[in-house]
Structure formats: structure tokens, C-alpha cells
Amino acid sequence: MEYFQGIILQDRIRDFFTRSLQNDRLAHAYLFYGGEGRGKEAFALTLAKTLNCQNETVRPCNECANCQRITHFNHPDVRFIFPASKALKAEQLHSIVQAKVKNPYAPLSIPGSKNISIDAIRELKEEARFGSVEGGYRVIIITGAEYMSREAANSFLKLLEEPPERFLMILITETLHSIIDTIRSRCQPVYFPEFSDEQIEQIVAQYEPVDQDIRPLIRMSGYNVKKVFNMLHASYMEQREWVLKFLRSLIVENYFNLNQLIETIRGKNSQEYALELLSILNSWFEDAFHILNGASAEQLINLDKSEPLMSFAHSFPEFRMNEINQAIENAANAIERNAHPVLTFFNLAIELHGLLGPRRKLKEAT
Ligand SMILES: [Zn+2]
């Protein structure tokens, strides 16, 4: 039997679970942990498919009826539980899950306060009493496990202590320490490291047609696949162009352009938009700083802009990184406290201008 063929996985995850499956030594409960956007939920679904797949040579095949039903979240033996507010209606919950049907790496966007209630766990336990509906493997996936209320966690503990046959529980969290000890000690912890640049490129290519170099997004996101998908939707490249124009106008002291450019934020009218611009601006200075300290183009966040970055860094070799960092952070704080983004960017522009230091004329390349 071949496992996880064509599925993009971290080596340690692939090796570990392939061995467990081959030796038929699956634990009753796993605790998947590690930062956001490392494919923990997607892999939990992959594992659920693997255990219920009908293919005789390759699992999961992603094509058989069982695989298909799990992909669409309507297999009776696979339950996917996530924290949500009690106020959410059934159709809202349905549409949250639909995003995962289209793309298992997509973030769950859950409005309002989040909680996994005792009711959800009670229901689960009730179902667990009757083994699997279809004779396969029952798989319970609980993502955001740290949102279990204390009562829910205590109730869940009973299930962990006496797991039924052919029953797999997968808890998922970003913060291992926020899971209570009694639960943690009864699950096998599995750490998910970051994906590589290439792996994230491959994952994105499966779900979104992109014709751009997405490596800057990957780095900007901190190797967080969920964030990369969000950034693709938020037209990150357009925002970065804005930042580059902003810097250019500032450097050549074209205040007319600068004015016009900053005025365009007014139309956006969104805190989040302005904060994104600031974090891109910050990444630019960080890259320039790293260049001056000998980093290669491959190591940069904005690696596709390494040439203008080099020329910027060498034109302003004395720019004051710490103060610039602070100025950008102050601007972000001000915007979070509802300062007007247009005004904030004007102030920041003036401040940055003073912090760039003297401009060096670049020697002609020989
Ligand atoms: Zn299958």
C-alpha cells in the first residue's frame, strides 16, 4: 500500500504516519500542534480519508466515494468540530465549512466569540457509543482545541480514557501549552514544522491559478499557508506597488506625488489596508538592512525586487533602522487606535525622510 502519494507534506509528518500505518500502530488520539498555516487541518482530513479510502493500492485516492464524501464534509463517520459562537445559525456554519471544501488549507473565518461547547462534545460521545456507521474508521477532528470550555474538556476526557475500537481523535492547536494537562498527556503530540517555499508554491498552485512569483508573499506571511491565501485575495502585489511608489516619491522629494498617493488610502477607508501597507513598508527596510549586512537576494522577503532593493540600500547606507522600525510601529499603533490613516502616513513620510540619512551617489557599474 502506498500512502500520501502526491500530497504535499513535511517529511517528518509523511515518514511518521507512513510508518504508523504500515505497522498498524496508529494511536487513539493525536494532538497536532505548530504555528498557523502549516497544513494541520488539511492533513487531519487526509488521514481521515486514508483510513476510510476504498482504493487497494494508493491511499487516499481522493476519488473513491469515501474520499469524496470526506472532502465535502458529509461522511457520517468523520466529524469536523471547530470553535464557534452559539449565536451562529446552521447556514452560517455551513458556509464556513464550504470554504474548507474548496480548499482545505483555507482559514476558517468564524465571526464572533469562539468556543467549543459541552453540547458539541456530548453529541460526539453519544455518537461514539455506536462505533462507525459504515464499518470503517471513525475520525473526530477538533480544531482550535484550546477553545474547549472546561466542562467540554472534562467531558472529552472520558472519551480519551476509554476510546472505542477503530476510533481516531485528532486535536489541533497552535498553542500546545493552552491544552489542559490531562488531555495533553493522553494524546500523542505531533509537531508540524513550516512548509518550504517550494511546498507552499505547490499547495497554492493546486487551489489558485497564479501567474506571479508568490515567494515574497510566502516570506511576508512567515511561511503561513493560510495567510498566503488571504494575501492573494487582498491584492498584496498592488499594495506593495503602492509602498514602492511611496518610497520613490519620498526619496526624490516629489511631494505632489506623495500627496496624491497618500490620498488614495482615503478611499480604502480600512484600518486593515493601512496596516498591511505599513507591514510591507517595514519588510522593505528590513530587507535593505539585511542587504547591508551581506544577505543574498535569495534570503530577502521581497526577493523578486532584489535589484531596486540593492540600489536603495546602497544609496542610503546610513538609514536608521531602529528608529524607522519604531516610527512604523508607532504609526501602526496610531492607526489601531483609530488615528486617520491619511494623516498618519503624512506624518510618517516626514519622519522617514529625516531617518534615511544622506543619499550616496551610486558609482556607475563597470
Ligand atoms: Zn479513496
The answer to whether residue 224 is domain-embedded is no
pLDDT reported for residue 329: 95
Residues 45 and 96 in one domain: yes
User: For residue 64, how far is its CA from the centre of ligand 1 (angstroms)?
Assistant: 4
pLDDT reported for residue 91: 82
User: For residue 224, how far is its CA from the centre of ligand 1 (angstroms)?
Assistant: 28
Residues 257 and 184 in one domain: no
User: For residue 82, how far is its CA from the centre of ligand 1 (angstroms)?
Assistant: 24
The answer to whether residue 366 is domain-embedded is no
The answer to whether residue 65 is domain-embedded is yes
Please identify, among 140, 172, 193, the residue that sits at the C-terminal boundary of a domain.
193
pLDDT reported for residue 295: 92
The answer to whether residue 226 is domain-embedded is no
User: For residue 107, how far is its CA from the centre of ligand 1 (angstroms)?
Assistant: 24
The answer to whether residue 69 is domain-embedded is yes
User: For residue 244, how far is its CA from the centre of ligand 1 (angstroms)?
Assistant: 48
- CATH number of the domain that 312 lies in? 1.20.272
Residues 263 and 185 in one domain: no
pLDDT reported for residue 130: 76
User: For residue 294, how far is its CA from the centre of ligand 1 (angstroms)?
Assistant: 50
**Can you give the residue range of the structural domain that contains 20?**
2-193
pLDDT reported for residue 210: 86
The answer to whether residue 176 is domain-embedded is yes
pLDDT reported for residue 365: 44
User: For residue 78, how far is its CA from the centre of ligand 1 (angstroms)?
Assistant: 14
Residues 59 and 174 in one domain: yes
Residues 53 and 180 in one domain: yes
Judge contact between 346 and 262, C-beta under 8 A.
yes
pLDDT reported for residue 366: 39
Residues 30 and 113 in one domain: yes
User: For residue 171, how far is its CA from the centre of ligand 1 (angstroms)?
Assistant: 23
Residues 257 and 185 in one domain: no
Please identify, among 193, 212, 246, the residue that sits at the C-terminal boundary of a domain.
193
Judge contact between 161 and 183, C-beta under 8 A.
no
The answer to whether residue 215 is domain-embedded is no
The three-point CA angle 206-210-214 to 5° equals 100
Please identify, among 128, 163, 193, the residue that sits at the C-terminal boundary of a domain.
193
DSSP string over 154-222: HHHHHHHHSPPTTEEEEEEES-GGGS-HHHHTTSEEEE--PPPHHHHHHHHHHHS---S--HHHHHHTT
User: For residue 69, how far is its CA from the centre of ligand 1 (angstroms)?
Assistant: 10
Q: Tens digits of per-residue pLDDT, 42-57? A: 999 999 999 999 999 9
Residues 40 and 179 in one domain: yes
The answer to whether residue 209 is domain-embedded is no
Distances 266 to 143, 269, 270, 343, 351 between C-alpha atoms, Å:
38, 5, 8, 10, 20
Q: Mark residue 137 as left, alpha or beta (left: phi above 0; alpha: psi -120 to 50; beta: remaining).
A: beta
pLDDT reported for residue 242: 94
Please tell me the total count of domains within the chain. 2
Q: Tens digits of per-residue pLDDT, 4-29? A: 999 999 999 999 999 999 999 999 99
Q: b/e for 23-54, b at 16 or more Cβ within 10 A?
A: eeebebbbbbbbeebbbbbbbbbbbbbbbbbe
Mark the ranges of the chain whose per-residue pLDDT is less than 70: 269, 362-366
Residues 283 and 176 in one domain: no
User: For residue 227, how far is its CA from the centre of ligand 1 (angstroms)?
Assistant: 29
